[in-house]
Amino acid sequence: MSAEELAILIETLILDADSKYAKTLGRLQGVLYNDLALTLKDLELQDGYIKQSAANRRILTLASNKIDEAYNSNTFTLAVSNYISIVPKIDAENNKYFSALSAEFTPKKIYLKSIQKELVQTVNQYVLQDGLQSQVIQPLNQIMSQNVNSGGKYSGFIEQVKEYVKGSEAVESRAMSYTRTFVKDTLFTYARTYQQAVTTDLGLQYYVYAGGLMDKSRDFCIERSEKIFSKKEIEGWASEEWRGKKNGTTESSIFHFAGGWNCGHQIIPVSDFIVPQEVKDRQ
């Protein structure tokens, strides 16, 4: 298996899981929006504008409860769980690659368990708990409160809720955009983290920037795609600036973060035997 083949296999695993997750979340959001629309239709209006009343604030409380129920439901938590359940398959592909690359390779089982545990904790915190509250639920509640407190126009309010909850052809819903980006990035980072740990053990010094280019790939990735670089060259990238670069990108973390948010590339070590002389001469 080549580095490019490994990158494609891992990318396919993650994108397939992402697609299934998106379908489940899309159905959940449709149900949530219908529930909210039924609840909010009882708001008291005057000439098409929402009244500032105690009765309307009670309706907002009911709507807020619908939001909590949706994102605390078994449907949502199971969808997230199914998404990250591909981790053992990612591990298996990485281990196949390194087994073929070096006879000295031994799967790092204890390390795998450690980073698997960290991945689950991260997803729980940012997708099922605190992050979901601050990035998805609270802003939606604020939209509803602001419209009632300011006496907003009902038709505009409902359209705003619809776009936030369900999204549109042009824009993903807030929950879809936030959770998909976070989980997908977490899984790609997980794969790269294990690759880098093994690479350090084996003492490898050259890498290929591998993975599929997307329609919205940034210039940073396009310029490096399918090319081989030394460890020192890659460390030097951390001092550059580019669109989508993650905060905290350093000489060390560049191997985990690669091109940043929404980057599906991997920085995969390769045998010195396949490194072109011109790459070695750059050193």
- pTM summary value: 0.87
In this prediction, residues 229-253 reach a mean pLDDT of 90
The beta-strand segments (E) located in the chain are 45-46, 49-50, 206-210, 228-230, 266-270
What is the pLDDT, as a whole number, of residue 215? 61
Question: DSSP states of 17-29 as a string?
Answer: HHHHHHHHHHHHH
DSSP 245-276: PPTT--TTTHHHHTT-TT---EEEEE-GGGS-
Rounded CA separation 113/278 (Å): 39
Q: What is the pLDDT of residue 213?
A: 64
Indicate the burial class of 259 (C-beta count within 10 angstroms; 0-12, 13-18, 19 or more): buried
Write down the pLDDT at residue 12: 94
Report the alpha-carbon angle 259-169-34, nearest 5: 115
Residue 87 is encoded by which pair of tokens? Answer: 């981790």
Give me the pLDDT at residue 280, please: 77
Residues 6 or more apart whose Cβ sits within 8 Å of residue 241: none
- Tens digit of each residue's pLDDT (9 = 90 or more) over 43-101: 999 999 999 899 999 999 999 999 999 999 999 999 999 999 999 999 999 999 999 98
pLDDT at 202: 85
pLDDT of residue 214: 64
The 10s digit of each residue's pLDDT in 250-283 is 998 999 999 888 888 889 999 888 787 877 777 6
Q: What are phi and psi of 227, to 5 degrees?
A: -105, 155
Confirm if 262 and 196 have CB atoms less than 8 A apart.
Answer: no
